[in-house]
Structure 1
């Protein structure tokens, strides 16, 4: 009798978990579909406007023409080659700049002397536009890959640095009073208190840093490059190949969105403890 009761309770729990899981999956599917509604409406209006010649095909080609060009470039292998080069540049620049931004953000956030020594200079450098330093990077590092990766690294550095620093300094001081009562060591305060509390800001910095890396990639590929999606766009512009320009722009948009979604996935996994307003 007791075993039957236990089995019955387990079955009820299992069915309840299945219902919750189904509701969660349905909600995620609904959110995914909603995200496509506006783009599909815009594409439909755009296609119809091009079909009935309400807009110039040279200035704004139809989505169907852009898709055809994408298939042709992909089939020829040209697009794959440019995309591979751009991905390596973006990832290399982001790893270098983002890694340094995170490291220095942690050092400055934890140490007031480091803040007073380093932060004023970094804040001054942060305000210099990326395009303004391109001539210097060409003079210092030439037209090779080093100058391009370093330019992307410059763009990726500051969002992660600033948000890491602000995240650490924004930890509620009341939490330290609790840590004192619990007799936390300095290491426990850092790992169990400061870093988890600063994690939302750090992940936000990661998202902004990845986005900036993609923006800096375009500027980097203007520096005498003969390969990459940015070069493909500039080359197509010279020959008025608007469809190729749109293919390049859409590629940047898609990969930017994918990288942002990847970080958002980490946010959902790592910040489950947060109780946020859902709208």
Structure 2
């Protein structure tokens, strides 16, 4: 075989591998049902099964999105909402993670604070809005507070239970090998709690977008929630549906990033090992 033939076979092999990677079922299969629903929705609108007065066509929503993209309005609302969401996630998530670790590692800390946290957790977030307005007004602080408190509880609970549910035999084995408390935490307890912590993070991301919709109705001047409220006032159904779809896409994107981090951080776990 000549050098040219070998080079051609090598290039063909690489192309096949790349094509195979792109066509793996785990990549395209999760998007099959949403795309199919959009196609049915579009076809139903064209043949009259779905009234455009009730629900605009996906093509109409896409055209509106393109128009708002060209004007820069869409990126403005997206950027403001994303900044609010992830700022609230950072504040509430870090506090929930820290308290979850504290209560998981210390029985005394759990006895002191866990009952109070559980009592506050059962108060509906929306019931706090009148108090939040009185405390913080209707500015950015109020919106950040609502998002932060919504993500605090799922991250706290899953961190707390993740630390508490680490196999005690592994902890005893680490102590038998002479591990220090710091080494025991970093090598045994924290890795063992990570799967549960990531579950809490994924659940918190869903709540984050849900509460953000409500938070952006508090006299906001930008953001996807504000965009939807303004569109409702002027009966712009295409903009309302667009804002809903954008929330869904942002939630999916955040979940995909979290799952990628989860897979990388838990590569040592057989349940998360790459094929």
Could you tell me the TM-score, scaled by structure 2's length?
Answer: 0.89
1:219 matches 2:233: no
Q: Deviation string for 1:197-228 (max 9, x for gaps)?
A: 00111111121222211111111111121211
1:105 matches 2:100: yes
Instruction: From 174, 177, 200, give the equivalent of 1:179.
Output: 174
Q: Does the residue aligned with 1:164 lie in a helix, a strand or coil? A: helix
Instruction: From 244, 247, 257, give the equivalent of 1:252.
Output: 247
Give me the whole-angstrom Cα distance separating, in 2, the residues matched to 1:41 and 1:146.
41
Give me the whole-angstrom Cα distance separating, in 1, the residues matched to 2:170 and 2:31.
42
Give me the whole-angstrom Cα distance separating, in 1, the residues matched to 2:129 and 2:210.
14
Counterpart residue number, 1:203: 198
Structure-2 change in CA distance of 1:22 and 1:177 (3 Å):
farther
Q: In the alignment, is the contact (CA less than 8 A) between 2:38 and 2:58 conserved in 1? A: yes
Could you tell me the TM-score, scaled by structure 1's length?
Answer: 0.88
Give me the whole-angstrom Cα distance separating, in 2, the residues matched to 1:185 and 1:49.
65
Choose 141-150 or 38-47, whichever is displaced more: 38-47
1:10-25 equivalences in 2 (<5 Å): 22=17
Count of residues in correspondence between the two structures: 261
Structure-2 change in CA distance of 1:200 and 1:28 (3 Å):
farther
For structure 2, the 5+ residue unaligned runs are 1-9
Instruction: From 48, 51, 64, give the equivalent of 1:53.
Output: 48
Q: In the alignment, is the contact (CA less than 8 A) between 1:179 and 1:189 conserved in 2? A: yes
Task: State the Cα distance separating 1:166 from its structure 2 match.
Answer: 0.4
Q: In the alignment, is the contact (CA less than 8 A) between 1:134 and 1:223 conserved in 2? A: no
Task: State the Cα distance separating 1:161 from its structure 2 match.
Answer: 0.5
Choose 269-278 or 93-102, whichever is displaced more: 269-278
RMSD: 2.1
Counterpart residue number, 1:122: 117
For structure 1, the 5+ residue unaligned runs are 1-14
1:151 matches 2:146: yes
